[in-house]
Structure 1
């Protein structure tokens, strides 16, 4: 099942909230990386690529670690 626009926006919102709770990582750096990734992935059209990028962001929240 393809990822909806609403799910992507919810992920973005959750990443913003998560960035405000960071203590060991600079939240400005984290938000800049999130913004860059979302801008780069904005042009994705293949459902497989969109799903991969979405799962990558989800795993970041689940693991609670910054790569």
Structure 2
């Protein structure tokens, strides 16, 4: 597995783990949305697009964990 694939997998796992801490959100909706976004991103080939999506996911986690 490449480094990029490992980064994506780590982000996916972190987002899934975050779902276990949700109290006021529909967890099944959250998980479905995460899976949907990663399925769309699976076909990205442009490195800039991949980096942008990864940054978006990391920023989401960073902002949510501060609250």
TM-score normalised to structure 1 length: 0.89
How far off is 1:24 after superposition?
Answer: 1.1
CA root-mean-square deviation = 1.3
Question: Matched residues in 2 for 1:31 and 1:60: separation?
Answer: 14
Flag as ranges the 4+ runs of structure 1 deviating above 4 A.
none
How far off is 1:18 after superposition?
Answer: 0.1
Number of residue pairs matched by the alignment: 63
Partner residue, 2:23: 23
More helix by share: 2
TM-score normalised to structure 2 length: 0.89
Partner residue, 1:52: 52
How far off is 1:20 after superposition?
Answer: 1.1
Question: Matched residues in 1 for 2:25 and 2:40: separation?
Answer: 22
After superposition, the C-alpha distances for 1:39-62 in whole angstroms (9 at most, x for unaligned) are 000000000000000011111100
User: Where does structure 1 lack aligned partners over 5 or more consecutive residues?
Assistant: none
